[in-house]
Amino acid sequence: MISNVIKPKKPMPGSRWVLVHLDQDQHGNDRYYYTHPEGFVAISALEVADGIIRREYIPQYHLSISKDKKRRCSSQDAKFILKQFGLDDALEDNHVHSGFVRNFWLPVDENKQGRECECVADEVAIKEDKGDFIWRPAHH
């Protein structure tokens, strides 16, 4: 299996995250699975994803966050967790109806950071949890 030299983001020391599993996707990119004593679960990965510009596949850090027993964490919890992983500038982009995972993306290329995915302007935003969670139908 080929291994990528760019690795997913890891939590800062002392943040109490525990690495519970490690695997790779079909392209040799690592995925790190973490749990936190306060009931949070995070998957930190590096993915080549169709993101900012449609059909422009670029490497991006991806952090998926949920809470125990398949619950969605609040946006406030997510901001705190993003900071622990050094992903303060990551943007949320969800495409799962009533999903319990919040997905955050940050391009590896610093010149592409801070730009929202085209889907934000092109697709209907569906709000849940009194506007705390936004998702968009998957694009093709």
Q: What is the pLDDT of residue 118?
A: 66
Q: Domain holding 125: CATH number?
A: 3.40.1720
Q: What is the pLDDT of residue 39?
A: 96
* Residue 13 maps to a domain: no
Q: What is the pLDDT of residue 140?
A: 47
Residue 117 structural domain:
18-135
* Residue 8 maps to a domain: no
Average pLDDT, 10 consecutive residues per value, the chain (140 residues): 82 98 90 97 89 74 91 91 96 76 89 71 66 61
Question: What SS3 state is found at 71?
Answer: strand
CA distance 9 to 31: 10
* Residue 2 maps to a domain: no
- For residues 66, 59, 135 and 99, what is the CA-based torsion angle, rounded to 10 degrees? -30
Q: What is the pLDDT of residue 120?
A: 66
CA distance 115 to 11: 24
* Residue 46 maps to a domain: yes
Question: What SS3 state is found at 118?
Answer: coil
How many domains does the chain divide into?
1
Q: What is the pLDDT of residue 4?
A: 75
CA distance 134 to 123: 11
Tokens of 133: 């969670």
Question: What SS3 state is found at 34?
Answer: strand
* Residue 7 maps to a domain: no
